[in-house]
Structure 1
Amino acid sequence: MAQAPALPSAPATLGGKSSGLPSALRGLINNAQFSDVSFVVGKERQVIHAHRCILACRCPVFQRMFSHQLQAERSPQELQVPFVLADTTPSVFLAVIEFIYTNSVTLTCDIALEVLTSAVEYGLDELRKLCVDFIGQSLSVELACEAFQAAVTYGQTDLRQRCLAFIERHTQEIVRTQSFRELSDLGIVSILQSDRLTLDEVPLIRAVREWAHVSSVVLDMPVAEVAQDAVRELRLFLLSPEELTTLERENAKDELIPEIQIAQSWKFHALKKVIDSEPHIFRRRRGTLPRDHHRYLDPPPK
């Protein structure tokens, strides 16, 4: 009796060396051979060559960009016109291209924040995570506020927490940096809300005043208007009467802090009782120096 023919085996996906494809694709980065799209990048107007099919299959932004071109029925000559990317730099854009082609990226502290920005803008979530990890491990006193600002701007919660923890540990050094003075209103408010800053309130108020004056010049707005949200987070109740007197004298020059806020602190000293509805502004920070009146700062037990 003849045997029935054997059923064909199920298809199997077999792989070669895992390093083969990325290595081959790396050779195509900024390679004019077989390139069908180019970009003129940055102030340097550097021409960077690429391949539409690779960019489109790996990046939703490029896919939409090229699809729009085809839908507009551009001529072959029009399709060869380079895209102009004036708001980035060649090194940053090449890092993005490297990731798109190889799923890996070469980062340095000089470009990591800009690559993170590009990753968010291009919808490259894996690249975003790589940038967040790199920046989090490379934080320095000079970089921390700049990275924190980027995290706040682009909603990067994990990076924001890591930066804030670093700022809390190194507050004294960080408030002296230019990047601290260049924080946005939302950025500095987020820092001032922390109980774990390792700096006393007197130098912290001084740092906020310096930030407000820089922001006032940049935004062409009065100091008090620029800082109205930030000064609400200053814990004037931590200051002694002598320090409040000095603060009033300094405040007369720029009116940084509303008079009513200072008056509330004087009222506390007179009554020696927590009366405000926002208990966090009575809390001592990690770096707060002890003063005699601090024993009255804790709200009475319920």
Structure 2
Amino acid sequence: MSQAPAQSGVSAHLHGDAAALPTALRGLINNPELSDVSFVVGRRRQVVHAHRCILMCRCKVFHRMFRHQTPQEVTVPFVLADVEPEVFLAVIEFLYTNSVTLDSQIALEVLTAAVEYGLTDLRKLCVDFISRTLTVEMACEALQAAVTYGQTDLRQRCLAFIELHTEEVVKTQSFREISDLGLVSILQSSQLSIDEVALIQAVRGWAYVSSVVLDVPVSVVAQDAVRELRLVLLSPDELTTLERENSKDDLIPEMQIAQAWKFHALKKVSDSNPHHFHRRKGTLMREHHHYLDPPSKSSGVSALGSK
């Protein structure tokens, strides 16, 4: 009788219940049992317990923090005064379970922590949550975070929201508190659903608040932002009113106002800043606006053919 061929070794990578491990690890969050590191967090100096092995394998920042600890330092709590307990615990939750519980009160701060700790997946979760839960009141605050931390995807989503709700957004406290860089990113958009007169008034209000906070003149604090105002969209009467208001605070440089008057005199679009001659989505029509639209190529061809 012939012998059956010997079977070669067989191996397989098998999975148990995918939720079992995160569920078990969730029970270790802020659990003093077997913990070997602690943090004193926030103004309330709340103690948070953790396990170094989990933090080190999940986060390079914590790995560097603990790697060179001496035996004497192991028992000394880390003081994190600049982060609130709810925010830090959200970070810990993510490190232990690869998931996070967010609400609108802490999402922006958790995003900040995710960037600082280099947690890319947590950052993405925060950006997705913030983008889906944007409100008029928090839109500029979210945009500010996006600009500060270079979050291009969140910046684009915030701008899209602000473009849809511009008139409401410019009335909020977060608009008045946004940085000049954040404000410039808003003013560069042609999709803002607001008329230029109202937008100029909103920028003036922002400038007065920023002037008080930073203790610098209105004209200085707003010098970058006002360059993005499109004064040529204003009628002559509106420009005259603007000049009268501007004489009180010098918010807008005289040269910029003079360029708007030059357009009214020559009815000619400048090549230096062509986007300043584009109507925004919410711009109300004025009689002189037809001079802003260059003749289309088709009309130009027709004109040549008729000669």
Query: Same-fold call, TM > 0.5?
Result: yes
Letter in 2 for 1:16: G
Letter in 2 for 1:57: C
Figure out how many residues of one structure are paired with residues of the other and give that number. 297
Residue by residue, what CA displacement relative to the aligned partner does 1:255-286 show, whole Å, maximum 9, x if unpaired? 00000000111111111111341110000000
The offset of 1:3, in angstroms, is 5.0
Letter in 2 for 1:101: Y
Letter in 2 for 1:120: V
The offset of 1:68, in angstroms, is 2.9
Letter in 1 for 2:22: P
User: Within 1, Cα distance between the matches of 2:190 and 2:115?
Assistant: 30
Q: Secondary structure at the match of 1:248?
A: helix
The offset of 1:218, in angstroms, is 1.4
Aligned to 2:35: 35
Residue by residue, what CA displacement relative to the aligned partner does 1:125-170 show, whole Å, maximum 9, x if unpaired? 1111110110000000001111111111111111111110100000
User: Within 2, Cα distance between the matches of 1:132 and 1:173?
Assistant: 23
Once the two structures are overlaid, the 10-residue window that deviates more, 224-233 or 266-275, is 266-275
User: Within 1, Cα distance between the matches of 2:111 and 2:224?
Assistant: 28
User: Within 1, Cα distance between the matches of 2:107 and 2:10?
Assistant: 46
Aligned to 1:52: 52
Trace 1:1-302 onto structure 2 (pairs within 5 A): 6=6, 9-69=9-69, 74-75=70-71, 77-299=72-294
User: Within 2, Cα distance between the matches of 1:109 and 1:14?
Assistant: 39
Once the two structures are overlaid, the 10-residue window that deviates more, 271-280 or 21-30, is 271-280
Q: Secondary structure at the match of 2:147?
A: helix
User: Within 2, Cα distance between the matches of 1:68 and 1:238?
Assistant: 62
The offset of 1:96, in angstroms, is 0.4
Q: Secondary structure at the match of 1:287?
A: coil
Residue by residue, what CA displacement relative to the aligned partner does 1:207-239 show, whole Å, maximum 9, x if unpaired? 001111111111121111111110000000000
The offset of 1:301, in angstroms, is 6.3
The offset of 1:78, in angstroms, is 2.2
What RMSD over aligned residues (CA atoms) do the two structures have, in Å?
1.5
Residue by residue, what CA displacement relative to the aligned partner does 1:13-40 show, whole Å, maximum 9, x if unpaired? 2221111100000000000000000000
Structure 1 unaligned segments of length 5 or more: list them. none
User: Within 2, Cα distance between the matches of 1:2 and 1:56?
Assistant: 57
User: Within 2, Cα distance between the matches of 1:12 and 1:222?
Assistant: 71
User: Within 1, Cα distance between the matches of 2:191 and 2:146?
Assistant: 19
User: Within 2, Cα distance between the matches of 1:82 and 1:3?
Assistant: 67
User: Within 1, Cα distance between the matches of 2:115 and 2:4?
Assistant: 58
Letter in 2 for 1:261: Q
Letter in 1 for 2:156: Q
Once the two structures are overlaid, the 10-residue window that deviates more, 31-40 or 146-155, is 146-155
Taking a change above 3 Å as real, the CA distance of residues 5 and 79 of structure 1, as seen in their structure-2 partners, is farther
User: Within 1, Cα distance between the matches of 2:213 and 2:115?
Assistant: 26
User: Within 1, Cα distance between the matches of 2:47 and 2:19?
Assistant: 28
